[in-house]
Structure 1
Amino acid sequence: MTKTAQLYRMVMDKHVCPYGIKSKWLLEREGYQVEDHHLTSREQTDAFKEQHGVATTPQTFIGDHRIGGYTDLRNHFDRPLPEPGTTSYIPVLAVFAAAGALALAVSHFAFGTAFTLRAAEWFIAFSMVILAMLKLQDVEKFSSMFLGYDLLARRWVPYSYAYPFLEFGAGALMAAHALDWLSIPVALFIGTIGAVSVFHAVYIEKRDIKCACVGGSSNVPLGFVSLTENLAMIGMAIWMLLRMPM
């Protein structure tokens, strides 16, 4: 027996509702034949909402039952979206995956093999630059979240604004092995302060807060991943220091 659903969504000359497109795709993915009704004007959309007593479109009907909008439809098929504010490691894992892929690619291009010590160095340096870039998208939001746990920033607020620039600069210089006399102490300094701050907030004060490591709008929990990021910077700085010519 063919399963059918009725979908009402906005399809106008200057606006096509993205949630309507997603609803149609989800219904078809679940094996439904979709009767796709386009609401082609603001007047038609407002009349539809008034008729059915709803505040938004799209709206899906299966049989005589109104399912609701895109979020309701996902819930109906047991595919709920994460709750707003839910903590997630996905953003920082995406950063590390991108940095790792770039490091392996550059190593393969430069040395003919992806797996080299230089690739490991590039991975940390590229991670620093990408993480700094995310912070720099909204320095004000980042600084506000950073002040929640960084010990130095709490004592000297300008550090919360300078941190992304320091991380970006140190990472770029380390990737190029340029100005080691500058990049190494910067990475060692910000990494050490960061590691101490995270350890103090999470493991001594036992606070449940979010990390500013991927910017001020993230839901990444402050903890092991944040500590690892800072320890990696410290390790990179020490490694490069030991490899400097005497």
Structure 2
Amino acid sequence: MNGTDEQKAARLYRMVMPGHICPYGLKSKDLLERQGFEVEDHHLTTREETDAFMEKHGVETTPQTFVGNKRIGGYDSLRVYFKLDPPEEERSDTTYRPVIAIFSVALLLALGLSWHQYGTLLSLRAVEWFVSLSMTILAIQKLQDVESFSTMFLNYDLLARRWVPYSRIYPYAEAFAGILMTAGALVWLSAPVSFFIGLIGAISIFKAVYLEKRELKCACVGGSSSVPLGFVSLTESLMMTAMGLWMPARVLLMG
């Protein structure tokens, strides 16, 4: 922290109106207090008062935080000031957070189902549920905006480039296979679907990333994804391919 904040006091100007309380203002106040600051909390209670404040200080948004005579800025600037985030120019436009969240929740759900069904966290069915639930949750992400997904998907999927409707069918096929595999039903139908879309996806990703060395965003978590196309995307496709082979094999082996 800078020497100017040694007194641990800050002035915060935020919108608090009858029909609107700025969420970033609340977050700024909470962050300052968690950092040990005594906050002089100024409410901007009308549109006119807010506009006058912004014009006076030459800013376009509120909230605004001041430490001593120095204006820190809005909530994002406050996080940079406290070194919780890097400066904007140093930030990466890619993240693995969405897929980490999806796979983590799918794993915990699979373990929970295994515990409920078999009284143990570790079971073969837990592994199957992990893959099928991951497929289903990933499909939900895509189904929120199928057109946006299809646009990003067309950047690299080989089949979709030859037959564009496949880019819109894919999320439904993934959800369909994932749901049936979670239930252990209609394996004769879900397994080929999973194997087919997984294999095409794996080949497409390998070609785009490892042969052509292209830097692309992955459509795996939807069309607004910031997840880079690469190892994680390839793993997802290989998991679906493996499930497409394993599920019918299990039925044959276990009768």
What's the % identity of the aligned pairs? 63
Q: Deviations over 1:63-85 (max 9, x none)?
A: 11111111221222222268577
3-state SS, counterpart of residue 10 of structure 1: strand
Q: Deviations over 1:195-229 (max 9, x none)?
A: 00000000110101000000000100000111110
Residue in structure 1 matched with residue 16 of structure 2 by the alignment: 11
Match of 1:64 among 31, 56, 69: 69
2:185 matches 1:178 = yes
Bigger mean CA deviation after superposition, 65-74 or 75-84? 75-84
Bigger mean CA deviation after superposition, 62-71 or 178-187? 62-71
3-state SS, counterpart of residue 218 of structure 1: coil
Residue in structure 1 matched with residue 3 of structure 2 by the alignment: none
Q: How big is the alpha-carbon RMSD for the aligned residues of Structure 1 and Structure 2?
A: 1.4
CA distance in 2, matches of 1:240, 1:175: 11
State the one-letter code of the partner of 1:58: P
Go from structure 1 to structure 2 and tell me whether the alpha carbon gap of 1:116 and 1:82 turns closer, same or farther (over 3 Å shift): farther
Residue in structure 1 matched with residue 112 of structure 2 by the alignment: 105
State the one-letter code of the partner of 1:87: T
2:52 matches 1:38 = no
CA distance in 1, matches of 2:160, 2:86: 35
3-state SS, counterpart of residue 34 of structure 1: strand
Structure 1 residue 94 displacement after superposition? 0.5
State the one-letter code of the partner of 1:244: V
2:230 matches 1:223 = yes
Q: Deviations over 1:185-204 (max 9, x none)?
A: 00010000000000000011
Q: Where does 1:56-95 land on structure 2 (aligned, <5 Å)?
A: 56-80=61-85, 83=88, 86-95=93-102
State the one-letter code of the partner of 1:77: F
Q: Deviations over 1:38-79 (max 9, x none)?
A: 111111111111222211111111111111111221222222
Q: Runs in 1 of length 4+ with deviation above 6 angstroms?
A: none
Q: How many residues matched? A: 246
CA distance in 1, matches of 2:7, 2:79: 20
TM-score by length of 1: 0.96
Is the contact made by 2:15 and 2:22 (CA closer than 8 Å) also made in structure 1? yes
Which structure 1 residue ranges, 5 or more long, are not aligned? Answer: none
Is the contact made by 1:71 and 1:81 (CA closer than 8 Å) also made in structure 2? no
